[in-house]
Amino acid sequence: MSSASQLESTLTRAWLRRGPLACLLWPVSLLFGGLSAVRRSLYRAKLIKSQRLPVPVVVVGNIFIGGTGKTPLTIWLVQALREAGLRPGVISRGHGSAGSAPRDVTVDSTPQQVGDEPLLIFQRGECPVVVGRDRAQAGRALLMAHPEVDIVVTDDGLQHYALQRDVEIVLFDGRGAGNGWLLPAGPLRESPGRRRDVTVINAPQLAPDLVAQVAPGGGLVVQMLLAGDVAEQLVDRSVRQPLASLAASGQRMVAAAGIGNPQRFFSMLRAGGLQFAELPLPDHHDFLDQPFAALDTDVILITEKDAVKCAQIEYLKDDPRLWVVPVSARIDSVLAQQIVEKCRGRSTA
């Protein structure tokens, strides 16, 4: 494990409780919180300019650092908005993408050019996607290239106040707010009490204490479940088999995940009856270190996010051991209804 991965693992464990390391870092978190509050106040006072797009903007983001399930939620939301008669487009920072200028995601784009998550959203969401460091600039580029778009979903960017938004969705998973402290003593970018329009919780159960922890101000709280019941061979995605069949096959299996919270992927697979060795990888892992080369196993289960990279790497794309497990978000349709109702009532800028 690299030193960066070890540091990330150490901090992740520390952030779930108020132990010695978290307490040591707590004074720094006060400084972080103060600077964040000043920045928000400057935007509210309009001392720092923010920009409004001529169509409604929905932000899907989190305050818990790392992966909570934003990409599946964004894909679900795009599909739900389309079913409601709207024509959504997505803008994203594009973690790891080349350059900072807005770039249209196309069928020929690579993860190195646009990032792994935007490429997956483009493939699964079947909608226009533009990546760029400046969200407002990316939004204008999206609308210029795709004038049919009448609502913009921004993947992440909750703290990117330079772009005004009409709906804010804050996403948590079963870890809740961790130890409840801000960075670096805890996992939070902002207080759990920050305003938002909707709180989505990616967890099997909405326990009352979890809801109270992540949505202390009340408001609309919606549950999200991530489900996957089939595996598709990376060599040929049309070759599929139910996870139940894999579980009964007796084959040796490894599950690998280069996402923000690999344990969530592993727990989903175990709930499907699979037995395997775990291979957690850093978020946005590039696979250049060939993590599967020395594995003596019959099947390697990977996430869709990792698959968009593996499918373009010569020594991985033809590895018959690699099987992709697509996941889909299951969310109450009330979420889309609330968003459509609010956005349709907005006057254009």
Spell out a b/e string for 154-188, using b for 16 or more CB atoms within 10 Å of the CB, else e: bbbbbbbbebebbbbbbbbbbbbbbbbbbbbbbbb
| Residue 334 CB partners (closer than 8 Å, separation 6+) | 220, 222
pLDDT of residue 8: 67
pLDDT of residue 3: 57
pLDDT of residue 181: 96
| Residue 81 CB partners (closer than 8 Å, separation 6+) | 88, 151, 153, 336, 339, 340
DSSP class per residue in 31-73: HHHHHHHHHHHHHHTTSS--B--SS-EEEEE-SBSS-SSHHHH
CA distance 47 to 44: 8
| Residue 140 CB partners (closer than 8 Å, separation 6+) | 53, 102
CA distance 69 to 161: 22
pLDDT of residue 260: 86
CB contact at 8 A, 276 and 254 = yes
CATH 1.10.10.410 for domain 57-226+330-344, yes or no, is: no
Would the pLDDT of 348 be above 70? no
Would the pLDDT of 67 be above 90? no
pLDDT of residue 13: 81
Q: Quick: pLDDT tens for 112-137.
A: 999 999 999 999 999 999 999 999 99
**pTM of the predicted structure, to 2 decimals:** 0.93
CA distance 251 to 28: 49
| Residue 213 CB partners (closer than 8 Å, separation 6+) | 176, 177, 180, 192
Q: Quick: pLDDT tens for 166-200.
A: 999 999 999 999 999 999 999 999 999 999 999 99
Query: Which tokens is 114 given?
Result: 């646009």
Q: Mean of the pLDDT values across residues 15-41?
A: 94
Higher pLDDT, 3 or 82: 82
Q: Quick: pLDDT tens for 203-232.
A: 999 999 999 999 998 889 999 999 999 999
Would the pLDDT of 349 be above 50? no
pLDDT of residue 161: 94
Q: Mean of the pLDDT values across residues 76-88?
A: 96
Checking phi first, is residue 126 left (phi over 0); if not, alpha (psi -120 to 50) or beta?
left
The secondary element (H helix, E strand) that includes residue 239 is: strand 236-242
Angle between helices 116-125 and 70-83 (to 10 degrees): 30
pLDDT of residue 104: 96
pLDDT of residue 346: 63
Averaged pLDDT of the chain: 92
Q: Which of 30-34, 80-84, 97-101, 167-171 has the lowest mean pLDDT?
A: 97-101
Would the pLDDT of 4 be above 60? no
Q: Quick: pLDDT tens for 220-272.
A: 999 999 999 999 999 999 999 999 999 999 999 999 999 988 999 999 999 99
DSSP class per residue in 142-167: HHHH-TT--EEEEES-TT-TTB--SE
| Residue 50 CB partners (closer than 8 Å, separation 6+) | 43, 136, 161, 162, 163, 164
Q: Domain locations in the chain? A: 57-226+330-344, 229-326
